[in-house]
Amino acid sequence: MSSVAATTETAEHGHHAHNDDLLALLKAAPFWSTDHKVIGIQFMMTTLLMLMVGGALALGVRWQLAFPWENMPFFGALVPATAGGQIPPEFYTMLFTMHATVMIFLVIIPILAGAFGNFLIPLMIGADDMAFPMLNALSYWFMWPAIACFGCSFFFGGGPAAGWTSYPALSALSQAAPGSGHAQTFWLLGVTFVGFSSMMGSINYMTTIINMRAPGLTLFRMPLTIWSMFITAILQAFALPVLTAAGFMLVTDRILGTCFFVPAGLIVNNADPTVGGGQTLLWQHLFWFYSHPAVYIMLLPAMGMVSDMLACMCRKPIFGYKPMVYSMSAIAGLGFIVWGHHMFTSGMNPALGMTFMISTVMIALPSAVKVFNWIGTIWGGKPEFNVVFLNCIAFVSMFIVGGLSGIFMAAVPVDIYIHDTYFIVAHFHYVLFGATLFGVFGAIHFWYPKMFGRYMSEGWGKLHFFLTFVGFNGTFFPMHLLGVAGMPRRYADPYLYPYLEHFLPMNQFMTICAALMGFAQFILIGNFVLSWFFGKKAGRNPWNANGLEWATPSPPGHGNFDIPPVVYRGPYEYANPDTEADFWPQTQPPNPAT
């Protein structure tokens, strides 16, 4: 990524002296850099690339659901099928497995924590760089072995076909799923590498945030973005080792013949009966102990960033700063004790189910508080309806839907019915795509001037937003109805079942919307790349924002701050009647007159 950037930029160099500092950085170290900004941008490029890959995989899934057993255009030729381009069912399982894997492990988690976490944390707390720059660089470069492993698993050995949740015994027995021979092992190694990457990042973020804040930046003067990154880092540090360990156990089950997750006597694909005395439910407990907090890892940073953006765009202080911090902490804390709600139908102890149900219901509360506070923030603001603001509103609006549909799942008896149906798919896409990705799109437009010293195109940004929003709702809203109708997820052909036959047109509509949405992402990528060269130039503080990062040049040079920052107040002093301007940067010394 950055090498391309460096070479192309060299040509432009003379004309754009403004970009000098960052370009110098990129030129000096096209690949390897320990500068947090370069790493952040590297993360951004990689994840945007992966976003396209994951989207293409999803379109494969959608194709099969809309036109089952039809020959697939374009991708059909790549499918190892004798049936021309028909997606065989085992390839379908690989498609959705890899879609989830890429989107979760290679897009959402790294774009939030990796790209924005890296870029923003030192800038927003007034530090020169991360506490451990080398570790930081490693956390990026550990992404690539992970990508390689996932790639290997997909293209060699048949592809992992046990879903991203990889429940044993399907994932533990190499005969159980097609291609789970080496593919599943590669997949687990990939997850482990991603785990390393995240772990390095999270240690770094915690240390940096605790130790390297600028003078005067007390904990409760930190922007909510930093709070959310901090809480995310804690979540990651405590939940991730569980998954990594469980992944290792599963690898040993697969290649060393241990039986942590495999009970005795299973006969799969005519192999000899298994001998072990393991428990498949153990994997589910361990997996969800990580993966439920992971849902918040995939959400909290977006919540933090949206809070900052909303305040700035509405020219108004955030409504209820402390309740926001507390509710984020509450989400994180409760997030550790709700994993069991993924297992209500798995036959675990019903009393345990009741406990999990109550904690799950209660986790809706801090989320609700946050939504109310965002609305409170917009209330009485003077918003400029630009791309950033629109994406933030979309975030709030979609998060309401995702949050409310979560309540259905929290109710155990209802969950019995909608578990593993498209209702769940709708729910988590509303949260992870509808909320998080709209937040991310907003954040890309918001911080782009800081990254590259130029604005992204407003018009193309709005077109992208419009298409994505329409496409997104057209794709995922009908999924609620599919879920209520009892259409199970991960079905290659739901129309075998008479009670689902009439959903074919709806699925076709959804697929068209999904294609529209996929197309819209090319606009984003185009806008992102072209604005780098042709965007309107931006100054230090293009949005008239208060945060510390806007006190640096755009883009910031190595070491970030040309004037060492001192913090005098919180980050949300917009529209303060005491000041002349409607914003009051954190670094501006108090007016001696008042």
Partner 1 sequence: MKWFWCLFFAFWPIVAIVVCLLAPGNNWWFPGEAASPLGRRIDDLFYMILWITSITFVGTQLVLAYVLFKGASDTEPGTANEKAWFSHGSHKLEVIWSSVPAVILLFIAFYQLDVWAEYRVKDAFPRKRMEAVFERIHQDRQKNDSLALAEVTARQFEWRIRYPGFNADGTLKALMPDPQPTDLYAVNDLHLPASAPVMINLRTQDVQHSFFLPELRIKQDAVPGLVIPIWFEADQQRSYQLLCAELCGWGHYKMNARFVAESDEQFIEYLRQLEREQNEDRVDDAPDTDEEE
Partner 2 sequence: MICLISGCGGQPEFSHSEKFQTLKPYAQIYVDQVLDNYFGSPSDMVAWDKLPLELHYGQGTVVEASGRMLTVELQAPHAEITAGTEVLWDSGILNDKDSAWILEWDEAKHQAKLESPLATNPEVGDAVILGPGQILATGRMLYAEHCQHCHGVAGDGNGPTAPYLNPRPRDYRKGIFKFTTTQSSKRASREDLSRIVEDGIPGTYMPSFKLLTEDEMTSIIEYVMWLSMRGELENQLIGLLADSYSVEAVEDRIAGGDETSDTIHQEFIDAVNDPDSFPFEVDTIVSRFTSEWVSSQEPDAEVQPLTPRTPSSDESIAKGRELYLKPSLKCAQCHGEAGLGDGSQTFAVSKDAAGQDNLTPGLYDTWGNLVKPRNLHSGIYRGGRRPIDLYSRIYAGIKGTPMPAFSSTLLRKSNPEDSGSEMTDEDIWHLVNYIYSIPFEDVKAGQGGSSIANPVKDANTASEEDSEEVAVN
Partner 3 sequence: MFARFQLQFVLLLTVAIFSGCTPQFRREKTEVKSASDVVIHFDDLSSSNNSEETPDEAATPATTPTAGNESTTATTPKKEMVAATTTSKPDVAKQAPTTTGYTGPAKFVGRVVVKGDVPLFSALLAKGAATKDMFCSEMAVPNETVISKDGGLGNVFVYMKKAPRKGVPEYSGEPFVVNQKGCIFIPHAQIVRVGQPFILKNSDPVAHNVRYNGFASQFNDTVVSGSTDGLTKVIEFPERLPAGMVCDFHNWMSAYVLPVDHPWAAVTDADGNFEITNLPEGKWDFVIWHEKALYIERSFKVTAAPNTLIEKVFEVNASKLSQ
Q: In the set 347, 413, 505, 592, which binds partner 2 (CB under 8 A)? A: 347
Per-residue mark of binding to partner 3, 270-289 (x: CB under 8 A): --------------------
Residue 508: contacted member of partner 2, partner 3, partner 1, none (CB under 5 to 8 Å, by partner type): partner 3
For partner 2, the binding residues in 231-270 under the rule CB under 8 A are: 263-267, 269-270
For partner 2, the binding residues in 160-179 under the rule CB under 8 A are: 175, 177-179
Q: In the set 486, 553, 557, 559, which binds partner 1 (CB under 8 A)? A: 486
Geometric angle at alpha carbon 179, from 177 and 183, rounded to 5°: 115
Beta strands in 340-461 (DSSP E): none
56 vs 60: CA distance, rounded Å? 6
Cβ atoms 43, 111 nearer than 8 A: yes
94 vs 59: CA distance, rounded Å? 13
Cβ atoms 561, 126 nearer than 8 A: yes
Q: Does 471 bind partner 2 (CB under 8 A)?
A: no
Q: In the set 18, 27, 462, 540, which binds partner 3 (CB under 8 A)? A: 462
Q: Which residue has the tokens 């299973």?
A: 266
Q: In the set 29, 52, 148, 268, which binds partner 1 (CB under 8 A)? A: 268
Least distance (Å) between residue 266 CB and partner 2:
7
Least distance (Å) between residue 412 CB and partner 3:
37
Instruction: Report helix angle 458-484 to 504-534, nearest 10.
Output: 160
For partner 1, the binding residues in 145-184 under the rule CB under 8 A are: 161-163, 165, 167-170, 173, 176-178
Q: Does 459 bind partner 3 (CB under 8 A)?
A: yes
DSSP bridge pairs for 560: 557
Q: How many Cβ atoms sit within 10 Å of the Cβ of residue 535?
A: 18
Q: Which residue has the tokens 């949405």?
A: 517
46 vs 148: CA distance, rounded Å? 13
Cα–Cα nearest to 295, from 235, 380, 208: 235
Residue 30: contacted member of partner 3, partner 1, partner 2, none (CB under 5 to 8 Å, by partner type): none
Nearer to partner 2, 80 or 564 (CB): 80
The DSSP call for residue 366 is H
Q: Does 362 bind partner 3 (CB under 8 A)?
A: no
327 vs 330: CA distance, rounded Å? 5
For partner 2, the binding residues in 358-417 under the rule CB under 8 A are: none
**Residue 340: CA atoms inside 13 Å, Cβ hemisphere, count?**
20
Residue 286: contacted member of partner 2, partner 1, partner 3, none (CB under 5 to 8 Å, by partner type): none
For partner 2, the binding residues in 52-91 under the rule CB under 8 A are: 68-74, 76-77, 79-86, 88-91
- Piece in contact with partner 1 (CB under 8 A), picked from 236-244, 370-378, 531-539, 543-551: 370-378
Binding residues with partner 2: total (CB under 8 A)? 45
Cα–Cα nearest to 479, from 438, 522, 430, 516: 430
- Piece in contact with partner 3 (CB under 8 A), picked from 100-108, 211-219, 289-297, 465-473: 465-473
Geometric angle at alpha carbon 327, from 323 and 333, rounded to 5°: 145
Cα–Cα nearest to 432, from 588, 291, 546: 291
Q: In the complex, which residues of this chain contact partner 2 (CB under 8 A)?
A: 68-74, 76-77, 79-86, 88-91, 158, 175, 177-179, 263-267, 269-271, 273, 277, 347, 349-351, 493, 496, 515, 518-519
Q: In the complex, which residues of this chain contact partner 3 (CB under 8 A)?
A: 66-70, 73, 459, 462-463, 466-467, 470, 495, 504, 508, 512, 515-516, 519
